[in-house]
Amino acid sequence: MEEYVLCVVNAAGGSSALERIRSITIPPGQWLRRPQLLLLFSMAGGPRPAGLPIPPGLLGPDPWSQGLGRLDEGFRRLFSGEPARAEAAFRQALDSFRSIGDRWGIANSLDRLAELAG
């Protein structure tokens, strides 16, 4: 259901899209069932400033979700012209993904770190 609501609200647009999506898809006290949908949340809500954290209640406390959140932060910092802070966020993401052995997350984190090193 989350995917459908995200796509519909994204197509409809509007400044309150993110809050509408959250109210429809996420019961109080729970998180996104599929944290990877953070990308669609970003599309629906528009880019957040680099220092603005992910809205509370979207990602759970598990290492994979937190790693995804650090990847998100790293991209926002990178696109905002803050390479040192982006690197720190990508390193945190790498640590989270390594702690659970997630090769997708490790590869994505290392790719971004290699891009910064280059």
Over residues 12-50, the pLDDT tens digits come to 655 455 566 666 666 666 656 666 666 555 545 555 555
Q: How far apart are CA 61 and CA 84, in angstroms?
A: 25
Residue type, 6: L
- Whether pTM exceeds 0.75: no
Residue in this structure with the two tokens 């290492």, named with its chain if needed: 63
* pLDDT tens track for 94-116: 999 999 999 999 999 999 999 99
Q: Is the pLDDT confidence value at 88 over 80? A: yes
Angle (nearest 5°) at CA 65 between 106 and 74: 60
Asked whether 74 and 89 are in contact (CB, 8 A), the reply is yes
